[in-house]
Structure 1
């Protein structure tokens, strides 16, 4: 019976490529279903065998631990160099774009809440 290993929705292309290479390097017999264009079906990596699924899950777990560490280190390096940050960083670096985005959020919130707010 097919075993679903990982959902591909919202997975960056570089991560999916690294996982494909990981499976190929370790001889995992797998197949892939792509996510739908509209986000209805999730797509993912699959295997047919239970033993293969256990081996692939162990590889995925080790890969994700390592990726989390490298991504966290990359983010901390960007913070230390002053190349990344939160809202205040974006406001200082790109004031017009940030203010337009905030204004757009407020307009969307206002339009969404308008039917529930009694005016007058």
Structure 2
């Protein structure tokens, strides 16, 4: 029976390729399911043989550790050289978008808090 190794929700394409290449190199049989058209399932990478699942999880843990360190280093480098997107750069580049999102957040908070304010007063 197959076991899920990686849910593909919010997983970058390069990470999917890296994981499948890692599994291929290790000789672990796997397959990929695609996301559903209605967004109910996001797809996944499945291990065909239950006996390979612990080894695949160990490989995945090592890969995620390495990838996490690399991505954090890339982010720090981008922050140092000023190419990383921050709130300030987003506000300068798309001020109307930022204002609209902030107003939406205030409106949502007001709708949530309105019943409590009405009960109190």
Same fold (TM over 0.5): yes
RMSD of equivalent CA atoms: 2.5
Change (3 A) 1:38 1:26: same
Provide the rounded CA distance (Å) in 1 between the counterparts of 2:116 and 2:39: 29
Counterpart residue number, 2:87: 87
Structure 1 unmatched runs, 5+? none
Asked whether the equivalents of residues 9 and 39 of structure 1 are also in contact (C-alpha less than 8 Å), the reply is no
- Normalised TM-score (structure 2): 0.77
Provide the rounded CA distance (Å) in 1 between the counterparts of 2:95 and 2:88: 9
- Normalised TM-score (structure 1): 0.78
Structure 2 unmatched runs, 5+? none
SS in 1 for 2:91: helix
Superposed CA deviations along residues 11-69 of structure 1, whole A, max 9, x for unmatched, are 11121111112112222111111221322124211123222111211111111111101
Provide the rounded CA distance (Å) in 2 between the counterparts of 1:117 and 1:6: 45
Does residue 27 of the first structure (1) align with residue 17 of the second (2)?
A: no
Aligned residues: 120
Deviation at 1:81, TM superposition (A): 1.2
Trace 1:24-63 onto structure 2 (pairs within 5 A).
24-63=24-63
Counterpart residue number, 1:6: 6
Provide the rounded CA distance (Å) in 1 between the counterparts of 2:57 and 2:108: 41
SS in 2 for 1:92: helix
